[in-house]
Chains A and B, each alone.
Chain A
Amino acid sequence: MSKARISPLRSGFVHLALAGYTVIALFPVVLTIVNSLKDKNAIFRAPLALPTVETFSLIGYTTVLKQGDFIGYFQNSLIVTVVSIFFALLFGAMAAFALSEYRFRGNTMLGLYLAIGIMIPIRLGTVAILQGMVAAGLVNTLTALILVYTAQGLPLAIFILSEFMRTVSDDLKNAGRIDGLSEYAIFFRLVLPLVRPAMATVAVFTMIPIWNDLWFPLILAPGEATKTVTLGSQVFIGQFVTNWNAVLAALSLAIFPVLVLYVIFSRQLIRGITAGAVK
C-alpha cells in the first residue's frame, strides 16, 4: 500500500527540481520586463534591482509607441502567425489523414519525404526562396512570409498528426461511410475533433518559431508596411548606440500576444485530453 503513495521526500525533490527549472526559465523574461520599467542609468547600474520610485520610468514604452508604427508591426506579426498556423494545420491534417487512412503505392515513401523537412532547416533554401518570391512579385508582402512559414510548419504537423490519426478507430470512420458522410465530412466532423489535442500541440510548436523569427522578415519583407515585431525592434539596436529602454519595452510588449495565443491553445489541449479520455 505504501508503495503506491509517493514519499513526501521524493515529491519534495521533484517539486524542487521543477521550481528550479521554472526560475531558470522565467528569469530572462522577468529581467526583461523589470528593466523595461527603469531609466537607462538604472538598467546599467543595477540590472537585477527592482524599479524604485527614483528609477521608475516608462521612457522605453513611450519611445516604442512614438517611433515607428508599432501597432502595425504587431498586426503584421499576428496576421502572419495566425494565418500560417491555420494553413499549416489545415494542410498538415489533410495530408496526415491521407497518409494514415488510404492505402496507395508509395504511401510510406511519401510520408518519409514529407517528414524530411523536420531534419533540414528551411533557411538553407533562402536564396532560392528569395529568387522565387522576386519572380512571383511577392517580396515585401505578408503573403510571402505566410507561404514560407506554412511550408516550415508542415513537416512537423504531418508527422505528429498522422501518428495521432492512426489511433482514430476505423470502425468510427466506417460507420460514417455507411451513414453517408463524404470523406471530407469524415475528416472534418469525425477525425479532426478527435485529434484536437494533437492539433493544439502542433499549433504551439509551430507558433513560437514563427513569432520569434527575424530571418525571413528581414529578407523577404523588410518594408515598413510589412515589418513584424521582431524586425521592428531592431530599429533600436544600432551599431554604436543601442536604446536599451526601447528594446526591452518592445520585447516585453511582444511577449503578450503570443502568451494569449498559447493560453488559448493550451485550453484546447486540456479540454481535448479530457474529452478523449472516454471512448
Chain B
Amino acid sequence: MGSLNLKSVRKAFGNHEVLKGIDLEVKDGEFVIFVGPSGCGKSTLLRVIAGLEDATSGSVQIDGQEVINTPPAKRGIAMVFQSYALYPHLTVKDNMGLGLKQMGAPKTEVEAKVAKASGMLSLEPYLARRPAELSGGQRQRVAIGRAIVREPKLFLFDEPLSNLDAALRVNTRLEIARLHRSLKATMIYVTHDQVEAMTLADKIVVLNAGQIEQIGSPMELYNKPANTFVGGFIGSPQMNFIEAGRLGDKEAKSVGIRPEHIALSRENGDWKGKVIHVEHLGADTILYLETEVTGLLTVRLFGEHKYDVDDVVYATPDKASMHRFGADDRVLR
C-alpha cells in the first residue's frame, strides 16, 4: 500500500551536487528516518520524494508507480513541516479538510475524516479556532492531523519536532510512534537529532554529503557501524577513535570504542590515565581521561561514581565491542 523505491536519484543546484545518487527501498508500513548533519541533503531528498523539488536524474517510485513527473498533490503523500505551515486564515477544521475538499471529496466524507483524525489527536476542542490561537504543540498536532486526513500512501515528516521545547518534543515523539503503530502507514522522517532517529525508526538511513553512509535498524547502526562517520554520528557521547598504531594494530588505521564499553578501575587495567573532567548526570557519570596509550578518552559509567579531577585511573575496553576501521575509514570485519 505504501512502498517507496529510489534509484540513483541525483539533484544538483547549478554546479553544486546535493544528492549524489541515492538508492533506497522502503517497504510498506516501515518507519524510515533520514538522519545526518546539516547540509547532508536529507531535506532535499524528502522534497524530491514529495515532488516539491525536481530530481536532476534518477527514478522515484511510489507503490511501484513512477512519479517523477507527477505533481505533489497526485502522489498520494502528505507532509508535515518543521514550521507547521498551517493556513493562517483557516480554522483548524478547514486546515485539516482542505486537501480532501480540493480532491473533490463529498462534504460528509470530509467531515467524518476530520472528526476521526481530530479524535486521534485530541483536537476536538480546537476545531473552530485559527492557528494563531493555538500553542506550538497544538499547531504541530493540527499539522499531523492534516496529514492523517488525506490517508496518504506515504507520510513525510520534515524535522517536525525541532520547533518544540524539550518536554513537548518527547510527548509528540510518543504520539508519532503511537500513530505509526495504529495507522500502520509508511512514514519517512527527516531529523538531525539521533535520539529521535534511534527511538522512532524501524530503519535509519544515515546521510552525509549527499550520499548514503549506511542503512540499518537502530541497533545495527549502533553495534555494527559501517564506517567511522556512522560510528561517530550514532551514540552520545561520541565514540572514541584511537590511532590503531598506538594499540599495536598494524592492519587497521583506527579503532573505535564507545564510552559505555570501557570499564574503569583505580587499581589496575589496560590504559593508565588521569581524569581531566567529570560530568555527573545522575543516571550517568561521564569522565574525560588523558591516558598514556590512547590520548583523550571519554568514559561513560552508569549510576553515580565518586571520581575527581586529577585522580589516577585505569581504563579497560571491552574487546568484543571494539570496532576496527581501515585506511578508507570503512570497518574491517
Please tell me if the beta carbons of B85 and A180 are within 8 angstroms of each other in the complex: no
CB of B255 within 8 A of chain A? no
Please tell me if the beta carbons of B79 and A174 are within 8 angstroms of each other in the complex: yes
- Chain B CB within 10 A, most for which of A176, A178, A275: A178
Please tell me if the beta carbons of A177 and B71 are within 8 angstroms of each other in the complex: yes
Q: How large, as a class, is the contact surface on chain B?
A: 20 to 34
0/1 string, A173-187, CB within 8 A of B gives 1: 011111111000000
| Distance between Cα atoms of A153 and B183 in the complex (Å) | 53
Please tell me if the beta carbons of A172 and B79 are within 8 angstroms of each other in the complex: no
| Distance between Cα atoms of A86 and B87 in the complex (Å) | 25
Please tell me if the beta carbons of B99 and A171 are within 8 angstroms of each other in the complex: no
Please tell me if the beta carbons of B79 and A175 are within 8 angstroms of each other in the complex: yes
Q: Hey, which chain B residues are within 8 Å of A178, CB to CB?
A: 50, 52, 72-73, 77-79, 99
CB of B293 within 8 A of chain A? no
Question: Which residues B88-112 have CB closer than 8 A to chain A?
Answer: 88-89, 98-99, 102-103
Q: List 18 A-B contacts (CB under 8 A).
A: A172-B83, A172-B85, A174-B52, A174-B79, A175-B146, A178-B52, A179-B102, A179-B146, A179-B150, A180-B103, A181-B98, A181-B102, A193-B89, A194-B88, A275-B132, A278-B132, A279-B83, A279-B132
| Distance between Cα atoms of A174 and B82 in the complex (Å) | 12
CB of B81 within 8 A of chain A? yes
Question: Which residues B116-156 have CB closer than 8 A to chain A?
Answer: 131-132, 146, 150
Q: Hey, which chain A residues are within 8 Å of B87, CB to CB?
A: 172, 175-176, 189-190
Interface residue ranges, B against A (CB under 8 Å): 47, 50, 52, 71-74, 77-79, 81-89, 98-99, 102-103, 131-132, 146, 150, 158
Instruction: Give chain B's interface secondary structure class.
Output: mixed
Please tell me if the beta carbons of B81 and A175 are within 8 angstroms of each other in the complex: yes
| Distance between Cα atoms of A171 and B47 in the complex (Å) | 11
* Residue from the list B71, B85, B103, B132 in contact with A175, Cβ < 8 A: B85
**Contact status of A171 and B85, CB under 8 A, knowing A178-B99, A180-B73, A181-B102:** yes
Interface size on A, residues (CB 8 A): 18
* Residue from the list B74, B85, B89 in contact with A174, Cβ < 8 A: B85
* Residue from the list A171, A189, A194 in contact with B82, Cβ < 8 A: A171
CB of A169 within 8 A of chain B? yes
Nearest-CB residue, chain A, relative to B78: A178
Q: Hey, which chain A residues are within 8 Å of B85, CB to CB?
A: 169, 171-172, 174-175
| Distance between Cα atoms of A190 and B52 in the complex (Å) | 17
Further contacts, 7 of them, CB under 8 A, given A174-B52, A174-B72, A279-B131? A172-B87, A178-B50, A178-B72, A178-B99, A180-B74, A180-B103, A279-B88
Q: Hey, which chain B residues are within 8 Å of A275, CB to CB?
A: 88, 132
| Distance between Cα atoms of A275 and B103 in the complex (Å) | 29
- Tell me how far the C-beta of B261 lies from the nearest C-beta in chain A, rounded to whole angstroms: 41
| Distance between Cα atoms of A13 and B71 in the complex (Å) | 60
| Distance between Cα atoms of A231 and B73 in the complex (Å) | 54
* Residue from the list A169, A172, A177 in contact with B73, Cβ < 8 A: A177
Q: Hey, which chain A residues are within 8 Å of B47, CB to CB?
A: 174
